[in-house]
Amino acid sequence: MKVYPIKFNPILKEKIWGGNKLANLLGKTTEKDNVGESWEISDVNGNISTVNNGEYEGMNLKDLITNHESDLLGIDNFKNFGYNFPLLIKFLDAKTDLSVQVHPDNTMAKRKHNSFGKTEMWYIMDSDDNADIVLGLKDKNMSPKMLHHINSNNVDSVFNREKVKKGDSFFIPAGKIHAIGAGVLAAEIQQTSDITYRVYDWDRKDSNGEKRELHTQLAEKATKIFDSNGKAEYTIKPNKSTNLVDCEYFTTNVMNITKHIAKDYSNLDSFVVFMCVEGEVDITAGYYTENLKIGETVLLPAKAEEIAFNSQNAKLLEIYINNGLVQCVLIAS
């Protein structure tokens, strides 16, 4: 397999809660005013990402996996997921609050939908003053049966809300009630799944004057109670990987690149995804250099060994599946 930083055409999704930050701040090409999601790398049926650069331009993600198997995914990932890409990579813009929702775990998703579950995380790239998110229930002793009885009068007493700012990171395991709030621009990493159970949608109506469907019966069965709000406590160090999330489904680090560095990924049995969340950076692998600007994403095949980065000031999310809990080592700067 030819190793280089692979870019894909973003798949833009109009949403009732979407805005225009994906276009205005992240450079996504659209004339719509309510684009809520940019699917950067997707293997969801009907939404397969297509390569837009280099040797594999015009091929889709499924073609790449079919042709290159473990060279692209990694040996263990190919054993575990076959010809399926295990992660869905997105940018999100919430002009208004998303619906309060919950996702099933692997067991429930397999039984009900023949799908993966949906554990995810958010990295806050930008937020309006006083923006917040919904994370869990205010009362940890509250029964999930309460989800059947939420209305505009009691909603504020049911859901826990957390103020957010640029650089905050939150882990949302399957089963956790959550919603991104108005004014938040975020990067999202999740299992490959598009299953969402809506719990409450703020009584709003769609363009046809209808309220969107709720899924409270399924949500009650899916909901779990967690002690932690899932916020990462971290101190970023220049030109090093700082961990935000390390779980069985993905590892996400943040890197602040301020000069030329190179890292050795030869012991990592996984593809690596880089999302640029601030500034811009040149990424070199296999003698091919790709410039990555804020709001852009690249995929590096598992076959990649040395990857070089060059920037005066950029922030990247570094994402992979850490089957062996292997560290990727800085080799030059």
pLDDT digits (tens, 9 = 90+) for 183-216: 999 999 999 999 999 999 999 988 888 899 999 9
Q: Would you say 125 and 169 are in contact if contact means Cβ atoms under 8 Å apart?
A: no
CA dihedral of 145, 150, 155, 160, whole degrees rounded to 10: 30
- CATH at 127: 2.60.120.10
Helix, strand, coil % in the chain, rounded to nearest 5? 15, 40, 45
Give the bridge partners for 102, in sequence order: 197
Predicted local confidence at residue 327, as pLDDT: 54
For residues 318 and 225, which has the higher predicted lDDT (pLDDT)? 318
Q: Nearest CA to 22 among 43, 46, 39?
A: 39
Please give the average per-residue pLDDT across 164-182, as a whole number.
97
**Radius of gyration of the chain from Cα atoms?**
20
Model confidence at 17, pLDDT cuts 50, 70, 90, reads very high
299 and 180, same domain (yes or no): no
Q: How many domains does the chain have?
A: 2
Helix (H, G, I), strand (E, B) or coil at 216: helix
Predicted local confidence at residue 100, as pLDDT: 96
198 labelled catalytic: yes
Domain residues for the domain of 173 are 11-222
Please give the average per-residue pLDDT across 28-47, as a whole number.
95
Query: Does residue 1 carry a pLDDT above 70?
Result: yes
**Catalytic residue, candidates 161, 198, 204, 212:** 198
246 and 171, same domain (yes or no): no
Q: Please, what sign has the CA dihedral across residues 206, 211, 217, 222?
A: positive
Predicted local confidence at residue 319, as pLDDT: 98
Helix (H, G, I), strand (E, B) or coil at 131: coil
306 and 182, same domain (yes or no): no
Predicted local confidence at residue 333, as pLDDT: 45
Q: How far apart are CA 325 and CA 47, in angstroms?
A: 31
205 and 94, same domain (yes or no): yes
Residue 181 is assigned to a structural domain of this protein: yes
Query: How many Cβ atoms are within 10 Å of 45's Cβ, its own excluded?
Result: 10
Predicted local confidence at residue 323, as pLDDT: 78
Predicted local confidence at residue 142, as pLDDT: 85
Residue 227 is assigned to a structural domain of this protein: no
Model confidence at 134, pLDDT cuts 50, 70, 90, reads very high
Q: Please, what sign has the CA dihedral across residues 132, 137, 138, 144?
A: positive
Query: Does residue 255 carry a pLDDT above 80?
Result: yes
Mean pLDDT of the chain: 94
Residue 232 is assigned to a structural domain of this protein: no
pTM higher than the cut 0.85? yes
Across the beta sheet with 197-200, what order do the strands follow? 159-163, 132-137, 178-180, 100-102, 197-200
Query: Does residue 260 carry a pLDDT above 70?
Result: yes
74 and 173, same domain (yes or no): yes
**Structure tokens, 166:** 């640029």
**N- to C-terminal Cα separation, the chain:** 27
211 and 272, same domain (yes or no): no
- Tell me the per-residue pLDDT of 89-122, one tens digit each, with 9 for 90 and over: 999 999 999 999 999 999 999 999 999 999 999 9
Note the Cα 51 to chain centre separation in Å. 19
